[in-house]
Amino acid sequence: MIANGVYGYRGTLDEDDATKGVAWNINGLYDRVGEAWRESVNLYNPLYTILSYRGNPITLSDDRVVRHKQQLGLSKGQHVRNSVIDVDGTQVHIHSERFADQHHRNLLHASYAFSCDQPLTLELYSGIDGIVYDLSGSHLENTTFDYDESFLIASGQTQEQKIPVHVIKTMKVNFDISPEIIKDNNKVLRRWQLTMEPGRTYKLSIHAGMIIGDGDIEDLKQSLSEAKKKGYNHLLADNKEFWDEKWHISDVDVGHHDKADKALTYAIYMLISHRPPSEDVSIPARGLSGQVYKGAVFWDTEMYMFPFYLNTDQAAARNILRYRINGLSGAKQKAKEYGYKGAFYAWESQENGYDACSDYNLSDPDTGKPVRTYFKENQIHINGAIAYALNQYVKRTGDVSILYEGGLEMLFETAVFYADRVKQTAKTKYECFGVMGPDEYHEHVNNNAYTNVMIYHTLDVLISSIVLLRKDDREKTNAIVGVYQKRLKKIRDVRRHILMPKPNEDGLIEQFDGYFELNDVTPKTVLKKKRSGNEYLGGKDGLATPTQVIKQADVILLLVLFPGMFPLSIQRANLDYYATRTEHGSTLSKAMYAQLAARLGKANDYFDMFLEGASVDLTGEYKDHAGGTYIGGTHLAACGGAYMTTVYGFAGLKHKKAMLMAESNMPKAIRNLHFRVNMRGNIAYVTIRRNIVTIKWEETT
């Protein structure tokens, strides 16, 4: 797929339609049809282009394909397709390219070239296909098509909020034939009838744009006319400049290990492609690859993707945080709905912090009946993820302005929620009941170690942020603090007395109260009992529920995030213990094991795990269904996890304010590693060669 943070366009073919899952998926535009899940919207398809011979579409039907290849050029963000199709004894070559405009992020460009080896009369159709692929209902209504000499236009609106959308397309051809227009209820197309000369290449370039809401159609037409004038190749060259600059700061070069290098390059390509363009949007869990997980933003963004942006694109990191600040009203609303004070952030966040998470996310494999799930109300650790990222940002950038711009208020509200959510069980003791940690198989658990530490950390970040801000502007800070003065006493008390995890005599941290009493079996034993391929292992009746088998890194993530909290011996004991009990049923899991292992000098033992986690989108080896729900797509958290393991694990990167340190925790399979990091405007070039670390300060911006 190609993407630019505003939209994603899947790697489908020019001639594909809704039945093949074509999707121009828009970030931040959501809709709900009837009682179906509220999900992100796919726009009309402006790249629809097809050749036809004697009224029959030329497609990749098996008997006619001579050759077919699709490529993704990661260095310039370009999708390329080459096909040779046999048409009645004549070979028709199709070469198409497309890229997401990284400067004018509402534009999309493509070029479509074709030729044949014998004379042939063909028809070329290109236009806007109004029938689009959707997971949960058709989101665009009142669709109309229009055209003039230069443009084709499809307009409509979303069903729920009646948000107007427009897709406009202009084309240029290198042959002198006037097209006809074809318009029906589903599409508007131009059609050219061509008597093709062998050896000549016929070319069509396409420039498309979109407006969501009340944009100016004339402005968009103007931008498209300029794009057409400039031409596809020039635009591509401009785009390449963007990519060159991004790759310079973002590339992580893993010498002598093609698999690792490829996986990382792909992961970084995805992360760059999904950087949020503004504070109105963030990054959905499946990126902009489609509507899986409702196109919603999870904790994946703050916990797994954020570190990449913090190191390479701090404007994007800021947008991610601002998106949460803007979602505060939604989070306060959610807290209220559950009877709590403060802000309870959405588990599946859409616009303005609205929680799109359903109460029934899965279904029973035997009966097909919906299964009640508690992701939405149990996973209160989402608040902590946001506070953690905000704290990392402020510490790294020194940019305290975000705290005045709603950041401190957000911290207060999340802290107020936590202080209200915990239970005082003794004079000096607070506990947290009925939660779900990152391991989603076990619901309604008490004192999940990860969650309790996140609660402590959030309250701590609030208190330290107040201290920091008071040094900066006492009056301004006190004005914000004053609003919450009455709540501070409880916040401080909870911070002091929240039950914190304590390793047992074997050095093990219990994931939650009673975890060690559960059946101690391996994931293999549990998996053997599965009745259907995509049976969900957790929840009320899940096979893993009565066991110690967990879905994903939980205690291990805690150790990754707070490296100084427990001695190395404790970290090692827990890595060994939980590794044999983790199913890695989520693509968020493996990278965290590999990262901790690297820091503990065990990178070799976990290198294969790192590779598996980093390559999921290339190998396709992940669950594409869980409990009857389709969950496929691009795994942005795994991309971020691959980056984290390499930079924070293998290279042991640490930063303290403007100071940067690295150490070699390299697995044997990787001989050298290079990457750059932005430290308050200075670029550090980190190199590890034969276990020798060097950091060179490259340039000052």
In contact, 37 and 358? CB cutoff 8 Å: yes
Residues that bind ligand IFM in the complex, under the rule CB under 6 A: 285, 293, 298-300, 438, 440, 586, 588, 637
Report in angstroms how near the CB of residue 285 gets to ligand IFM at its nearest. 4
Alpha helices in 498-586 (DSSP H): 523-528, 555-561, 568-579
Residue closer to ligand IFM, measured from CB, 14 or 554: 554
Please tell me which residue in 440, 443, 535, 612 is annotated as part of the active site: 440
Beta bridge partners of 426: 429
Q: What is the DSSP letter of 435?
A: B
Report in angstroms how near the CB of residue 95 gets to ligand IFM at its nearest. 36
Residue closer to ligand IFM, measured from CB, 96 or 301: 301
Residue closer to ligand IFM, measured from CB, 265 or 373: 373
440: annotated active-site residue: yes
Q: How far apart are CA 358 and CA 370, in angstroms?
A: 11
Cα 519 to its chain centre, rounded Å, is: 35
Q: Which two tokens stand for residue 509?
A: 């941290």
Residue type, 454: M
Residue closer to ligand IFM, measured from CB, 286 or 602: 286
Radius of gyration of the chain (CA): 27
Report in angstroms how near the CB of residue 324 gets to ligand IFM at its nearest. 15
Residue closer to ligand IFM, measured from CB, 87 or 626: 626
Q: How far apart are CA 676 and CA 682, in angstroms?
A: 10
Cα separations (Å) of 615 from 186, 262, 517, 610, 637?
38, 8, 35, 9, 12
Q: How far apart are CA 653 and CA 646, in angstroms?
A: 9
Report in angstroms how near the CB of residue 72 gets to ligand IFM at its nearest. 22
Alpha helices in 274-327 (DSSP H): 300, 306-312, 314-326
Report in angstroms how near the CB of residue 438 gets to ligand IFM at its nearest. 6
Element (H, E) at 189: strand 187-196
Q: What is the DSSP letter of 640?
A: H
Cα separations (Å) of 326 from 570, 573, 578, 642, 662?
39, 41, 37, 29, 35
Report in angstroms how near the CB of residue 623 gets to ligand IFM at its nearest. 10
Report in angstroms how near the CB of residue 591 gets to ligand IFM at its nearest. 12
Residue closer to ligand IFM, measured from CB, 12 or 383: 383
Residue closer to ligand IFM, measured from CB, 325 or 636: 636
What sign for the dihedral angle of Cα 566, 654, 309, 324?
positive
Q: What are phi and psi of 283, to 5 degrees?
A: -125, 115
* Residues known to be catalytic: 440
